[in-house]
Amino acid sequence: MISVENFNLTLSGKAILRAISVEVKAGELFVILGPNGAGKSSLLKVLAGEMEAYKSAVEFQGRSLSSYSPRELAQLRAVMPQAVHLDFPFLAEEVVSMAVLHASKAESQQRVHQALNLFDVAHLSERNYLTLSGGEQQRVQLARVVVQILHAAQQAKQSGGLPPLLLLDECTSSLDLAHQQQVFQVLRRLAKDYDMAVVAVLHDLNLASQYADRALLLSNGQAYQQGAVHQVLTQQTIETVYQTPVEVIEREGRWPVIVPL
């Protein structure tokens, strides 16, 4: 689906990423983990094609990312950055509708409300976006990025075409416990139902443990560990990378729980 091999990123003379090799496959929920400053958001920006000078280093669906036009990329991948700022009083449904591609007005409205329902914000559709809480705004933004590629994902499933890619940077940072769970349930369902690749930068190790298929753990710009999420999130690895003691509680038939000590 999308990959980089032995990738290095240097910005303003500082090494941000060193010798990173990663491949995300269709149908998996892949998380990028690590302490603050480890290079997580920078790697996501590279995968998203936001750094023009490095687009040729990324392979997406069998092609160099640099070979795609902006229009093609908009149809095949959606990106939610760490922070999104709006200065105008759009309605919530208008914010989401900005990402709808190639649809009549009636079809656009249907897609918008489908996406709003996914993240439990349909009742906010006619609210001024600027009056919403941080968590409500974040769920509206999630609906916006999902609506951009959901129709393409549905078409790909029906026709056997290439499934799209979803890239998310700290998409649950403002959410309460219930909505964190809801969001990752939706993301995992999208990955499995539509063979969509979902890549999420994440700080919450327990959400990663519960929902992710595979993980890349970064430390000082390097890949410290990569693989099945439960193999990555061991007590020794977490304590070494995060420099804090933890207990990893194994539960039969369920995901491990990570508890700081």
Each residue's pLDDT tens digit, 204-261: 999 999 999 999 999 999 999 999 999 999 999 999 999 999 999 998 889 999 999 9
Q: What pLDDT is stored for residue 78 in this prediction?
A: 94
Domain at 2-260, CATH from 3.10.310.10, 3.30.830.10, 3.40.449.10, 3.40.50.300: 3.40.50.300
* Tokens describing residue 90: 């759009």
Structure confidence by residue, pLDDT tens digits, 109-133: 999 999 999 999 999 999 999 999 9
Rounded distance between C-alpha atoms, residue 13 and residue 210, angstroms: 38
Q: For the ranges 41-45, 86-90, 100-104, 197-201, which has the lowest average pLDDT?
A: 100-104
Residues 6+ apart with CB under 8 A from 61: 1, 2, 76, 162
Residues 6+ apart with CB under 8 A from 223: 19, 20, 21, 22, 216, 217
Rounded distance between C-alpha atoms, residue 60 and residue 246, angstroms: 37
- Which amino acid is located at 10 in the chain? T
Residue 152 has pLDDT above 90, yes or no: no
Rounded distance between C-alpha atoms, residue 18 and residue 78, angstroms: 26
Q: By the 8 A CB rule, do 31 and 208 touch?
A: yes
Structure confidence by residue, pLDDT tens digits, 25-39: 999 999 999 999 999
Q: What pLDDT is stored for residue 236 in this prediction?
A: 96
Question: What average pLDDT score do residues 71-95 get?
Answer: 90
Q: Between the CA of residue 6 and those of 20, 60, 124, 163, 197, what are the distances in Å?
A: 5, 16, 45, 25, 21
- Which amino acid is located at 119 in the chain? F
